């Protein structure tokens, strides 16, 4: 695509997952062609480029898990496998010629705000300078490795699901799996018929519900009907999103209790299909549904009832060369150990060293917990915006929708910087504190205050997500309130009134 060049000022986007791709597309469509995207992987897609473990599927209806401006019917199932999401990302990138603007296999190590410019250094020693930086690094970025004594002593094959070794042969092997969240519920059914035995080490049971609407195949005739009628395709995606939004709101701010009760009953019905009462009891959570992220699976419970599947609930004492020793003293011998332990969700841009005004280091600013103004801007870091930052809606809703709202929110600010109207703009410290104080005060009214331990919680025990309805966040993202920002012109600065 060819776009009108509106400004020589430069924008750097860090990350080429869904968020970074959307940023680049919106900048190019607005006529700003001096854009560079740095991506540490070899292709677009973010977590869908790096993840490829057996059984990986999208747990949001795929048609609604697409850009609002680029809906696609090219999915074989309502909740398709990872290969189809990856293909969608690559097709969108090709359509918008994003590869011309992306530097692949380039990981940003440092970003310094000096003389009203962002100075970027990559891990391979190269540098770049931009007027605006957009951090689109996502939260599924840094692998979470459990802190278990002896991890390096294991003599067999050890693999994290986020860094899957496709050459790994599981056939006839004794396999141990640590972690029982969404990844586990996809992985276990995919490998259970291949392995000799599988031991799943469970710390906390999860609520597992059947897919909303099941997971039916989408026929070629159905796909063709959507291709022929783009408005029908858009309407279908919007209906899906509305259904998810209603469910998320019903769990989060459950004034009637009906949504949670209905979902709990669906989960209990599935648990009731487990014949072994001891196994059923171990797989039944002891906290309210929604306190942790809901998991969707049609196949996890059947897989765990197979003869070669074993659930271990004793705590892990250590890892030894031959396997895992649990707190009861038993050694569980295995050939392969799989870590389904997810990501460090609160790292955000880390381990990048980001220095704002007067050299202030973001690690120091966030030392007592991560925060941002509306999830997108941080005081003392001018001309830097982030996507899916602290307190963004990160539950079962489509993160692509949220990313688009955030981009729409800060894009007018970026345009004023690129046009030269603003020298710099940053979040007001006062407004950010007021905003975050309100969020913290709202948390006791949400399901996250129910007492479970989840990855939503930061190191202080505060949920780092949006504590209100999806609609309330969407409304807050419509227009930036300039009273919440500090703007600098060439010869002065001011909070805009």
Residue 225 pLDDT exceeds 60: yes
Average pLDDT over residues 150-158: 97
Q: Are strands 384-386 and 132-135 parallel, antiparallel or unpaired?
A: parallel
User: Using one digit for the tens of pLDDT, what is the confidence trace for 376-390?
Assistant: 999 999 999 999 999
Q: pLDDT higher for 66 or 7?
A: 66
Per residue in 421-430, pLDDT (tens digit) is 999 999 999 9
Confidence of residue 255 (pLDDT cuts 50, 70, 90): low
Q: Measured between alpha carbons, how far is 150 from 133 in angstroms, rounded to an integer? A: 41
Whether the pLDDT of residue 416 is over 70: the answer is: yes
Q: pLDDT by residue (tens digit) across 211-222?
A: 877 788 999 999
DSSP run (H or E) holding 235: helix 230-252
Residue 370: the pLDDT is: 94
Token output for 254 = 């459950």
What's the mean pLDDT when you consider all of the chain?
92
Spell out the residues 6+ positions from residue 270 whose beta carbon is closer than 8 angstroms to its own: 208, 209, 210, 301
Ranges 82-86, 195-199, 223-227, 287-291: which has the least confidence:
287-291
Q: Convert the pLDDT of each residue in 296-344 to its tens digit.
A: 999 999 999 999 999 999 999 999 999 999 999 999 999 999 999 999 9
Write phi, then psi, for 38 (nearest 5 degrees).
-100, 125
Higher pLDDT, 246 or 56: 56
Higher-scoring residue by pLDDT: 305, 256: 305
Instruction: Please report the pLDDT score of residue 216 as a whole number.
Output: 87
- Whether residue 324 contacts residue 331, with contact meaning beta carbons closer than 8 Å, is answered with yes
15 has a pLDDT exceeding 60: yes
- The pLDDT, as a whole number, for residue 312 is 98
Q: Is 208 left (phi over 0), alpha (psi -120 to 50) or beta?
A: beta
CB-CB contact of 38 with 12 (8 Å) = yes
Confidence of residue 4 (pLDDT cuts 50, 70, 90): low
On the question of a cis peptide bond just before residue 472, with omega within 30 degrees of 0, the verdict is: no
Bridge pairing between strands 331-333 and 323-326: antiparallel
Is the per-residue pLDDT at 254 higher than 70? no
Looking at the predicted structure, is the pLDDT value of residue 151 above 70? yes
pLDDT over 60 (residue 122): yes
Residues facing residue 11 across a β-bridge: 35, 132
pTM of the model: 0.93
Helix (H) or strand (E) holding 449: none
Tens digits of residue pLDDT in 258-290: 888 888 899 999 999 999 999 999 999 998 887
Mean pLDDT of 152-162: 97
pLDDT tens-place string over residues 448-486 = 776 677 777 777 777 778 888 888 999 999 999 999 999
d(CA 80, CA 88): 11
The region of weakest confidence among 35-44, 57-66, 188-197 is 57-66
pLDDT at 3: 43
Q: Domains, the chain, ranges and CATH?
A: 11-142+344-495 (3.50.50.60), 151-206+292-339 (3.50.50.60)
Reported as a pLDDT band with limits 50, 70 and 90, residue 229 is very high
pLDDT score recorded for residue 1: 41
Please report the pLDDT score of residue 493 as a whole number: 56
Residue 495: pLDDT band by 50, 70, 90 thresholds? Answer: low
Residue range 55-63: mean pLDDT, rounded: 93
Given a cut of 70, whether residue 61 has pLDDT beyond it is yes
């Amino acid at each position: 695509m060819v776009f009108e060049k509106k400004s020589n000022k430069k924008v750097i986007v860090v990350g080429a997952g869904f968020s970074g791709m959307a940023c680049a597309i919106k900048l190019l469509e607005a006529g700003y062609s001096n854009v560079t995207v740095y991506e540490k992987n070899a292709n677009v897609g973010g977590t869908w480029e790096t993840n490829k473990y057996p059984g990986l599927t999208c747990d949001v209806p795929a048609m609604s898990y697409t850009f609002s401006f680029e809906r696609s019917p090219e999915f074989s199932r309502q909740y398709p496998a990872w290969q189809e999401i990856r293909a969608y990302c690559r097709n969108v990138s090709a359509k918008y010629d994003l590869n011309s603007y992306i530097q692949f296999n380039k990981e940003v190590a440092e970003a310094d705000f000096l003389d009203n410019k962002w100075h970027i250094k990559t891990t391979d020693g190269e540098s770049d300078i931009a007027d605006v930086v957009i951090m689109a690094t996502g939260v599924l970025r840094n692998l979470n490795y459990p802190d278990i004594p002896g991890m390096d002593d294991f003599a067999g094959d050890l693999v994290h699901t986020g860094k899957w070794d496709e050459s790994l042969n599981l056939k006839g092997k004794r396999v141990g799996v640590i972690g029982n969240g969404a990844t586990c519920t996809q992985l276990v059914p995919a490998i259970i018929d291949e392995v000799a035995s599988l031991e799943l080490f469970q710390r906390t049971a999860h609520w597992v519900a059947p897919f909303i609407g099941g997971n039916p195949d989408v026929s070629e005739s159905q796909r063709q009907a959507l291709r022929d009628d783009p408005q029908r395709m858009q309407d279908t995606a919007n209906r899906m999103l509305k259904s998810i939004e209603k469910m998320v709101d019903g769990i989060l701010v459950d004034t009637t209790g009906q949504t949670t009760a209905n979902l709990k009953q669906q989960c209990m019905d599935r648990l009731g299909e487990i014949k072994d009462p001891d196994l059923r009891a171990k797989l039944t959570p002891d906290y309210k549904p929604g306190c942790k992220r809901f998991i969707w699976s049609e196949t996890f419970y059947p897989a765990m009832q197979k003869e070669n599947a074993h659930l271990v609930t004793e705590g892990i004492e250590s890892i030894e060369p031959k396997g895992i020793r649990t707190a009861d003293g038993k050694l569980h011998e295995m050939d392969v150990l799989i870590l389904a332990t997810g990501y460090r969700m609160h790292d955000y841009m880390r381990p990048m060293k980001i220095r704002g005004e007067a050299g202030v280091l973001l690690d120091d600013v966030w030392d007592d917990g991560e925060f941002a103004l509306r999830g997108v801007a941080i005081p003392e870091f001018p001309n830097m915006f982030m996507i899916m930052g602290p307190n963004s809606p990160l539950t079962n809703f489509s993160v692509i929708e949220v990313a688009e709202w955030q981009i729409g929110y800060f894009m007018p600010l970026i345009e004023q910087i690129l046009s030269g109207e603003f020298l710099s703009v940053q979040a007001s410290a006062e407004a950010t504190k007021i905003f975050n104080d309100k969020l913290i005060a709202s948390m006791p009214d949400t399901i996250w205050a129910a007492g479970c331990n989840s990855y939503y919680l930061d190191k202080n025990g505060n949920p780092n997500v949006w504590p209100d309805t999806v609609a309330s966040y969407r409304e807050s993202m419509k227009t930036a309130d300039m009273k919440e920002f500090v703007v600098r012109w060439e010869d002065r600065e001011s909070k805009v009134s």
